[in-house]
């Protein structure tokens, strides 16, 4: 099994445990949607596709494990570190890369390392493409416009 599928098994088990069907649905859409957007953006920017895909799957793991959104990025980075360490197939450097990106992902207004930026932009892309007819959230407008330019859509 490749490492993306190893992490997916873990995520699937967490999502299946969510009692509310609506929250479960949002978890599948959002975590796997962000994960696919991470793959796309990482391909475009020559960043690590495998680790970006995994960061996308794990980025809101704290929220979908606890349904508590408070400090979910920081708490999620700690939780992701525990999960990735327990899976025993990632190096310390790989775990640091993924968890640093998760830690920063809620700060849409700041700029971070190119790898961290993949996850932040993927989060915006999933929110905006879930229903392209909905209004774009104010705090995501600037990043969404840049993404449209980057992908030749504007």
57/89 with CB nearer Fe ion: 57
Could you give the CA distance from residue 1 to residue 115 in angstroms, rounded to a whole number? 25
Please give the residue ranges that form the binding site for Fe ion (CB under 5 A).
60, 123
Nearer to Fe ion, 31 or 84 (CB): 31
In this structure, are residues 40 and 69 in contact, taking their beta carbons and an 8 Å threshold? no
132 vs 152, beta carbon nearer Fe ion: 132
CB 85, min distance to Fe ion, A: 22
CB of 34 to Fe ion, least distance (A): 6
Q: How far apart are CA 94 and CA 154, in angstroms?
A: 34
CB closer to Fe ion out of 60 and 140: 60
Min CB(4)–Fe ion separation in Å: 18
- Please spell the DSSP secondary structure of 5-57, one letter per residue: HHHHHHHHHHHHT-S-HHHHHHHHHHHHHHHHHHHHHHHHHT--HHHHHHHHH
Q: Shortest gap between Cβ of 128 and Fe ion (angstroms)? A: 12
């Amino acid at each position: 099994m490749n490492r993306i599928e190893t992490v997916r098994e873990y995520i699937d088990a967490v999502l299946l445990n969510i009692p509310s069907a609506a929250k479960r649905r949002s978890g599948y859409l959002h975590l796997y949607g962000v994960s696919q957007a991470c793959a796309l953006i990482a391909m475009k920017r020559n960043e690590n596709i495998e680790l970006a895909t995994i960061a996308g799957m794990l980025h809101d793991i704290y929220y979908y494990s606890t349904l508590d959104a408070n400090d979910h990025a920081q708490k999620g980075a700690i939780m992701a570190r525990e999960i990735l360490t327990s899976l025993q197939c990632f190096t310390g450097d790989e775990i640091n890369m993924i968890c640093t990106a998760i830690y920063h992902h809620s700060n849409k207004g700041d700029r971070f390392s190119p790898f961290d930026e993949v996850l932040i932009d993927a989060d915006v892309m999933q929110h905006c493409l879930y229903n392209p007819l909905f209004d774009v959230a104010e705090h995501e407008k600037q990043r969404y416009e840049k993404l449209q330019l980057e992908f030749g859509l504007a």
